[in-house]
């Protein structure tokens, strides 16, 4: 896990807004994704890369904990919406969060995440509060570490 201040987005600044299509072909923005207490945005590569699949499964596993904290999830992937829809239809369990099509990595670039997989925590006022940059061999940070950050939102 990489948590270097110089890499990825800057902390304690407004999160850039964006508009992308979800796997259900709906336009999603930062505002529409926001939960009552905040948002965790995931950044990953191609939907079919093993690391991306593991990250989706991790989000599915911990979704109830995020929901209890009133924090929403969104995962930006470098695929077309129909490819994300195909993944969602092949999933054994229904996805509880949107897969977001960032085909040209434009949102990745807005958040300075074009070279990284990782998570960005945005509070309900739209301020970036924390971030994790992850190597391919890691899924996300340990759940208790992330939940502790979210509880402080």
Q: pLDDT digits over 57-111, tens only?
A: 999 999 999 999 999 999 999 999 999 999 999 988 899 999 999 999 999 999 9
Residue 1, pLDDT above cutoff 80: no
Q: pLDDT digits over 7-53, tens only?
A: 789 999 999 999 999 999 999 999 999 999 999 999 999 999 999 99
Find residue 123's DSSP bridge partners: 38
Residue 147, pLDDT above cutoff 60: yes
pLDDT at 139: 87
Separation of first and last alpha carbons in the chain: 22
pLDDT bin (cut points 50, 70, 90) of residue 149 is very high
pTM of the prediction? 0.93
Q: pLDDT digits over 118-136, tens only?
A: 999 999 999 999 999 988 7
Domains of the chain, each with CATH number or no CATH: 19-151 (3.40.30.10)
Residue 127: partners with Cβ closer than 8 Å, 6 or more residues away: 12, 13, 14, 15
Q: What is the Cα Rg of the chain in Å?
A: 14
To 5 degrees, how large is the angle CA 66–CA 41–CA 74? Answer: 70
């Amino acid at each position: 896990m990489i948590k270097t201040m110089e890499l990825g987005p800057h902390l304690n600044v407004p999160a850039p807004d964006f508009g992308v299509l979800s796997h259900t072909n709906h336009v999603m923005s930062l505002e529409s994704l926001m939960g009552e207490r905040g948002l965790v945005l995931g950044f990953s590569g191609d939907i079919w890369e093993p690391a991306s699949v593991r990250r989706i499964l991790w989000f599915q596993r911990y979704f109830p904990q995020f929901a209890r904290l009133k924090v929403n999830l969104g995962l930006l992937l470098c695929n077309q919406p129909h490819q994300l829809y195909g993944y969602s239809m092949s999933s054994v369990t229904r996805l509880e969060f949107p897969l977001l099509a960032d085909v040209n990595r434009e949102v990745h670039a807005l958040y300075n995440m074009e070279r990284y997989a990782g998570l960005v925590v945005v509070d309900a006022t739209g301020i970036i509060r924390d971030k994790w940059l992850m190597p391919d061999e890691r899924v996300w940070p340990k759940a208790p570490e992330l939940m502790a950050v979210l509880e402080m939102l």
